[in-house]
């Protein structure tokens, strides 16, 4: 008798590989019992800042069966975005690597849509939903369960062979598949480079990030004025921050992305400090067309750039 679970699992992983995903792993869709108290404590400590949406759908964040009726499997994916290119003017306000190119939400959603179509075409009627960082799903918890790696002291998912410069996403489906083994080994050891290097002391303890102090939060999520206590501590970041990843020893194993959509916009890399100070709506629309940076709008980016100016 044929083992259809094994056949379907192999098919999905092969197709994911063809679509350019770095990893594809599968977990049983069930309640994330270990993560519930951690998430509850993190919220109680106010580490989500003004991200009020983090308090919503608490039960759905922990149980994928509440997101997809009859869910049996959580298929996790990782898509590499690492580039060794950088902004040419070392004095220019900095943008996180993940935002150099096309918006990853759009890129990954399209890939997952294609994969779901292939699954339905080759396996049959499968109900499922794609999730790319914009719904109540604990990406890192599922990626860890799928065997991608371990959660590092900077709270990012780390992999021994390729570091952490990759996006995570999921397909939650009502199809029973073969499940991967969870990555249980933590390879951070006694290293505290990410904790020591964080400009705003957002990593308040190993594996605990106070999101309300994180530069990514301050430059992207925070809609009000950036608190004055962070003046002079932003390390010249105007959108996102890569510090805790850049200093992580495991990221010396990062490999260059082959995803063309994530190649940096050439004009973005060429803009100098003066160009950023004087950025116009027209330039913003050209440089950040279909970019994650559009999220801040030009007003948000200008707020960030202005905040980085040293006090006279």
> Annotated active-site positions, please?
133
Q: How far is CA 284 from the centre of its chain?
A: 23
- Total residue length of the chain: 312
**Helix (H), strand (E) counts: the chain:** 12, 10
- Taking a C-beta distance cutoff of 8 angstroms, is the pair 33, 61 a contact? no
Residue with tokens 């850049």: 246
What is the Cα–Cα distance from 232 to 218, expressed in whole angstroms? 13
What is the Cα–Cα distance from 52 to 256, expressed in whole angstroms? 35
Q: Which two tokens stand for residue 11?
A: 């098919």
Within 10 A of 286 (CB to CB), how many other CB atoms are there? 12
User: Exposure of 184 by Cβ count < 10 A (0-12 exposed, 13-18 middle, 19+ buried)?
Assistant: exposed
Residue 17: φ, ψ to 5° = -65, -40
- Taking a C-beta distance cutoff of 8 angstroms, is the pair 250, 87 a contact? no
Closest CA to 22 of 31, 30, 13, 11: 13
Within 10 A of 309 (CB to CB), how many other CB atoms are there? 10
What is the Cα–Cα distance from 87 to 84, expressed in whole angstroms? 10
């Amino acid at each position: 008798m044929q083992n259809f679970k094994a056949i379907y699992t192999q098919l999905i992983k092969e197709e994911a590989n063809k679509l350019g995903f770095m990893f594809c792993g599968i977990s049983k869709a069930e309640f994330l019992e270990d993560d519930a108290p951690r998430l509850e404590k993190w919220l109680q400590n106010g580490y989500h800042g003004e991200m009020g949406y983090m308090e919503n759908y608490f039960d759905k964040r922990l149980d994928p069966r509440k997101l997809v009726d009859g869910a049996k499997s959580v298929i996790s994916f990782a898509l590499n975005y690492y580039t060794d290119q950088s902004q040419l003017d070392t004095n220019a306000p900095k943008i996180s690597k993940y935002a150099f190119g096309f918006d990853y939400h759009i890129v990954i959603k399209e890939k997952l849509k294609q994969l779901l179509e292939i699954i339905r075409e080759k396996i049959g009627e499968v109900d499922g939903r794609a999730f790319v960082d914009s719904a109540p799903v604990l990406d890192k918890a599922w990626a860890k369960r799928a065997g991608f790696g371990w959660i590092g002291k900077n709270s990012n998912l780390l992999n021994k062979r390729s570091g952490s410069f990759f996006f995570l996403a999921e397909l939650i489906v009502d199809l029973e598949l073969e499940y991967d083994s969870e990555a249980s080994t933590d390879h951070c050891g006694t290293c505290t480079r990410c904790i020591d290097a964080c400009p705003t002391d957002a990593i308040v303890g190993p594996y605990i990030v106070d999101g309300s102090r994180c530069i990514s939060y301050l430059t992207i999520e925070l809609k009000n004025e950036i608190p004055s206590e962070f003046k002079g501590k932003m390390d010249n970041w105007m959108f996102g921050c890569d510090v805790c990843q850049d200093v992580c020893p495991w990221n010396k194993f990062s490999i260059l992305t082959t995803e063309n959509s994530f190649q940096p916009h050439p004009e973005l890399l060429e803009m100098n400090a003066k160009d950023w100070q004087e950025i116009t709506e027209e330039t913003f629309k050209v440089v950040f067309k279909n970019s994650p940076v559009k999220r801040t709008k030009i007003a948000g980016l200008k707020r960030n750039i202005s905040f980085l100016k040293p006090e006279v």
